[in-house]
Structure 1
């Protein structure tokens, strides 16, 4: 099992692949209207949560989606999710995404988790040259996370269904 530890500040964050026993915490996190506002596939029921967890497991098996539950040292609370998506497992570009559970917002969890995932991605996949972080233009918090983690603004992406608004594409290139 892959586990990423981020000890850059207290409390220590642990990122680990999602497990079936995360179901209750996952469903609970998705009760938050702010989280549901930014997701395409809200999780309302346990069945929704099981399907989502199955997709995360399949993503690891295919190498197309490496998704981590974000936890805090010594606590049971789920703080969020961070994911690297590779539509072309042999390609040099991947996308980074994340969400933060309501109780964890404003504590620096998202930037720390994104930095940890970024370091892991570049060290684990030598072929990767660029990581992209995409968000809707009206998601100011995601823009701040991109900036805090060194992902530079590249361009405005036009709205495309199912996204109702234009988006931002931020990129971080492999350090030399």
Structure 2
């Protein structure tokens, strides 16, 4: 049964699926691009890192599984379910991941997620990538609100969110399971028109 909306959708469907996934500049020689098969081994290596594993419980175990994820990412774009980007240097060197998930065209809301390779941490890469995808999603695509959440123990992710203009809105108590048990989660959001921290 189709649910009837009492208000028109915030965004019309087809805005993503009617065009190829773009490459987004993120400044200082960084760009966000679609994932490629050649990225699979580097993608898998990130999940061998203890710090990454601490915050990410959904983890691939083989290159073949990563390639299946990449296939799913392409389907997410075509079905307007998600936007998954590799964060890379212009010369192709992979640095991280940036994604918008749980796309809600009725309300104009999406959820951001990211990680950075261990060797690329501490250089502002995640905040530049998050700023780039947020500007594109809010200004070009038409989303009204972007959310992200992270463990209250993940100070680095909190700094990335704040630097990219995502205001801390509150704490979701005992909201996620990590390897060491349940964590409270900070909820951040950036709404169209918010000013970004400089």
TM-score (norm 1): 0.90
Greater mean alpha carbon deviation, residues 50-59 or residues 99-108: 50-59
Higher relative contact order (CA 8 A, sep 6+): 2
Is structure 2 residue 160 aligned with structure 1 residue 150?
Answer: no
Is structure 2 residue 118 aligned with structure 1 residue 118?
Answer: no
Aligned residue for 1:139? 154
Cα deviation digits, residues 36-79 of structure 1 (max 9, x gap): 211121122112212221221121111111010000122x3210
Aligned residue for 2:36? 19
Is structure 2 residue 60 aligned with structure 1 residue 40?
Answer: no
Cα deviation digits, residues 20-51 of structure 1 (max 9, x gap): 22112211222211112111211221122122
Aligned residue for 2:4? none
Alpha-carbon distance, 1:6 to partner: 1.8
Q: Is this contact kept in 2: 1:64–1:89, CA < 8 A?
A: no
Alpha-carbon distance, 1:161 to partner: 4.8
Is structure 2 residue 83 aligned with structure 1 residue 66?
Answer: yes
Greater mean alpha carbon deviation, residues 141-150 or residues 86-95: 86-95
Is structure 2 residue 22 aligned with structure 1 residue 6?
Answer: no
Aligned residue for 2:108? 92
Count residues with an aligned counterpart. Answer: 171
Cα deviation digits, residues 126-161 of structure 1 (max 9, x gap): 2x2111111111111110111111111101012235
1:54 aligned to 43, 60, 71, which one?
71
Pair 131,21 (structure 1): closer, same or farther in 2 beyond 3 Å: same
Pair 140,50 (structure 1): closer, same or farther in 2 beyond 3 Å: same
Pair 27,172 (structure 1): closer, same or farther in 2 beyond 3 Å: same
Runs (5+) with no aligned partner, structure 2: 1-20
Alpha-carbon distance, 1:91 to partner: 2.4
CA RMSD in angstroms comes to: 1.6
Q: Is this contact kept in 2: 1:31–1:44, CA < 8 A?
A: no
Pair 6,123 (structure 1): closer, same or farther in 2 beyond 3 Å: same
